[in-house]
Amino acid sequence: MTEQEIRDQLSEILVQQFEIQAGDVQPQAHLYDDLGIDSIDAVDLIVRLKEITGLRIPPEDFKNVRTVEDVVQVVNSLAVDT
């Protein structure tokens, strides 16, 4: 899965599952401050990403994620490692 495919999937999840406006899903958008994602939503996001990518995303890897691009980088690094 390419970074762009990850970005597209993430955007789709954020728009459909969390009802975020597509225009707000920018690489630099802060998940918590800009998009209103809370800790429970973050867990749901990890579960959804796992379903789509087949990758197990350890919570400790997600702990330092702050922006949309951070999520893309974490998922991409896990995909490269497998």
Q: Output the pLDDT for position 64.
A: 86
pLDDT of residue 41: 92
Structural domains in the chain, CATH included, are 3-81 (1.10.1200.10)
Buried/exposed 64-80: b ≥16 CB within 10 Å, e otherwise: ebebbbbbbebbbebbe
Cα(54)–Cα(38) distance, integer angstroms? 23
* Token pair listed for 32: 């918590």
What does the pLDDT look like over 27-40, one tens digit per residue? 999 999 999 999 89
DSSP code of residue 60: H
Whether this model's pTM surpasses 0.85:
yes
Say which range, 9-13, 17-21, 56-60, has the weakest mean pLDDT: 56-60
